[in-house]
Amino acid sequence: MCYVDVAYTVIGYNAAMTLQIIQLLLLLLVIAMQVWQWRTQQQAAQQALAQLLSQQLEEKHRLMMSEMHQSLNQLADRLQSLNTDQQDRLRAQLSQELTATREAMQALQVAQRDHLSQSSDQLSLSLRNGLSEQGMLQQNLLKTALQTTTQSLTQSIESLTKIVDNRLEEMSGKVSVRLEEGFKKTNETFVSVMERLATIDEAQKKIDGLSVNVVSLQELLGDKRSRGAYGEVQLEGLVRNVLPASSFAMQHTLSNGARVDCALFLPEPTGTVAVDSKFPLENYHRMIDSSLGELVQAQASKLFKADIKKHIDDISTKYIIANETSDGAVMFIPAEAVFAEIHAYHGDVVDYAMQKRVWLVSPTTLMAVLNTARAVLKDVEMRKQVHIIKDELGKLSKDFDRFDTRMKKLADNIRQAHENAQDVHISSQKISRRFAQIEKVELAQTAGLEALEMLDELDEAGKNTPT
């Protein structure tokens, strides 16, 4: 029962304490609310005072500005009145002073005129007297000067005549020498001109011979067989200069019995490429000859196109054979001018040739084709030699491995020899030191013994190092 009573008393005591605490908190809240209201009222009052002060200051500022404006206006009026009075006074004084100065100037002018008239009369008299005396003196001086100048002139003329005579003699000698040199040079140039004329005559003879040869060449090219032979010879020369003998054949016969001028044996998938020489020259000459007239030239142009297309058809049908030759052939035109004419003004012919798988080439473009073929052949040969190169590289790698192992052994031997040399050097130092100590009888000294012990330690360390 006592424990229960104690518990009830404790519970009652706690409830009373909580009520007191709540009351205190409520009082604190009320006090805080009153403080907050007082602060808000003070802030409002301060704001109202600030507004009143600002309004009063603005009114005072306006009053001061208006007073300042009025005072400035009054000062301006006073200054204007003072300025007008002073200006009137100054104008009156200036007018009086100007009239006085004008009168004084007029009096001075009259006095100066009188003085000038008197001084001019005196000066005229003195000048007349002085001029007459100076004229006599100048005449005497002129006479003496003329006499001296005539004497000096005669002397200078005589000296000049002597100098001119000497110069003329020198000039005549130089002119004679130069004339002789000029005659020699003209003779030499005449001889050289004669020699050059002789060489020109020889060149003219050679030109005449060349013209005969050109005429004979034109006559040679006038024949179809001769033109064909010329094209074949030119084609053979170009091919032989670029490709090896095993990669082409001249006048090669195909399976259909057709004989092509040149067959290029290229690696697969290209295969055998036929190259045939064609030289359409007759209608070309008629087409470019302006003396024949426009109608003849137009007709020759049509015939020229027809000739080229006929050659393209012949090459396409004869020299492109499935499973034997390449899918295209080459038409060689020996004249660059004809090739340029076709590509410049007859594009339809070029398109026709491409449709027929016939490639038109000139000597210049054929060189590019042959160089490309040579590069392809060289690449094929290089590929054939790849396995040989690979084997040689394998052998070279084995030799290099063997060289590496031997080089390592040599490095080990060199390192061992270096260590042995160091050991020998230490032993020699020790022996020489002991001989020196024996000579000086210093075997009992501690310094020498310590040095010997250090050398012994170094020697033992060198021996213990692994070889």
Mean pLDDT of the chain: 74
Domain co-membership, 320 together with 361: yes
Asked whether residue 138 is assigned to any structural domain, the reply reads no
Domain that holds residue 453: 408-464
Q: Mean pLDDT over residues 247-263, rounded?
A: 90
> Considering the entire predicted model, what is its pTM?
0.41
Instruction: Answer yes or no: is 329 within a domain.
Output: yes
CB contact set of 276 (below 8 Å; sequence gap of 6+): 260, 261, 262, 315, 319, 329, 330, 331, 332
Query: What CA–CA distance (Å, rounded) separates 451 from 96?
Result: 131
| pLDDT value, residue 103 | 75
Mapping DSSP to helix (H, G, I), strand (E, B) and coil, where does residue 2 land? helix
Q: Is 80 exceeded by the pLDDT of residue 328? A: yes
Band the pLDDT of 3: cuts 50, 70, 90.
Answer: very low
**pLDDT at position 214, please?**
42
pLDDT of residue 75: 63
The pLDDT assigned to 357 comes to: 92
User: Is 435 found in the same domain as 352?
Assistant: no
Residues 379 and 237 in one domain: yes
pLDDT higher than threshold 60 for residue 13: no
Query: Same domain for 425 and 329?
Result: no
Same structural domain for residues 276 and 422?
Answer: no
pLDDT tens digits, 44-65:
766 766 677 667 667 766 776 7
Residue 410 scores a pLDDT above 90: no
pLDDT at 11: 46
| CA-CA-CA-CA torsion sign (200, 205, 209, 215) | positive
Q: Are 231 and 368 in a shared domain?
A: yes
Full DSSP string of 374-433: HHHHHHHHHHHTHHHHHHHHHHHHHHHHHHHHHHHHHHHHHHHHHHHHHHHHHHHHHHHH
Q: What is the mean pLDDT of residues 352-363?
A: 92
- 457 vs 320 pLDDT, higher one: 320
Q: Are residues 356 and 457 in the same domain?
A: no
Sign of CA dihedral 301, 307, 310, 314: negative
Task: Return the higher-pLDDT residue of 374 and 84.
Answer: 374
What is the pLDDT, as a whole number, of residue 5?
47
User: Across the strands, what pairs with 273?
Assistant: 264
Q: Is residue 297 domain-resident?
A: yes
In a domain, 177, yes or no: no
Q: Whole-angstrom Cα distance, residue 174 to residue 341?
A: 68
pLDDT at residue 310 in the model: 92
pLDDT of res. 94: 65
Same domain, 330 and 229: yes
Percent over 90 (pLDDT), the chain: 6
Work out the pLDDT band at 452, boundaries 50, 70, 90.
low
More confident residue, 218 or 191: 191
Same domain, 261 and 325: yes
Stronger pLDDT, 272 or 210, i.e. the higher one? 272
Same domain, 423 and 372: no
Count of domains in the chain? Answer: 2
In a domain, 6, yes or no: no
The pLDDT value given to residue 123: 64
Look at residue 5 and tell me if it is in a domain: no
Are 417 and 307 contained in the same domain? Answer: no
Asked whether the predicted pLDDT for residue 466 surpasses 90, the reply is no
* 279 and 422 together in one domain: no
pLDDT at 341 over 60: yes
Please state, in angstroms and as integers, the Cα–Cα distance from residue 15 to each residue in 3, 29, 42, 358, 410, following that order: 19, 21, 41, 123, 105
Which two tokens mark 293? 């007239």
Q: Is the pLDDT of residue 168 over 70?
A: no
Is residue 235, in this structure, part of any structural domain at all? yes
Among 194-198, 201-205, 289-293, the minimum mean pLDDT is found in 201-205
Position 354 confidence tier, pLDDT thresholds 50, 70, 90: very high
Cβ neighbours of residue 346 under 8 Å, at least 6 residues apart?
304, 305, 308
Pick from 360, 331, 357, 366: nearest CA to 346: 360
On whether residue 61 sits in a domain, the answer given is: no
- CA–CA separation, 10 vs 4, rounded Å? 10
Q: Which of 349, 384, 419 is the last residue of a domain?
A: 384
Region 353-364: mean pLDDT is 91
Alpha-carbon dihedral sign for residues 223, 228, 229, 231: positive
| Most confidently predicted of 26-35, 118-127, 234-243, 422-431 | 234-243
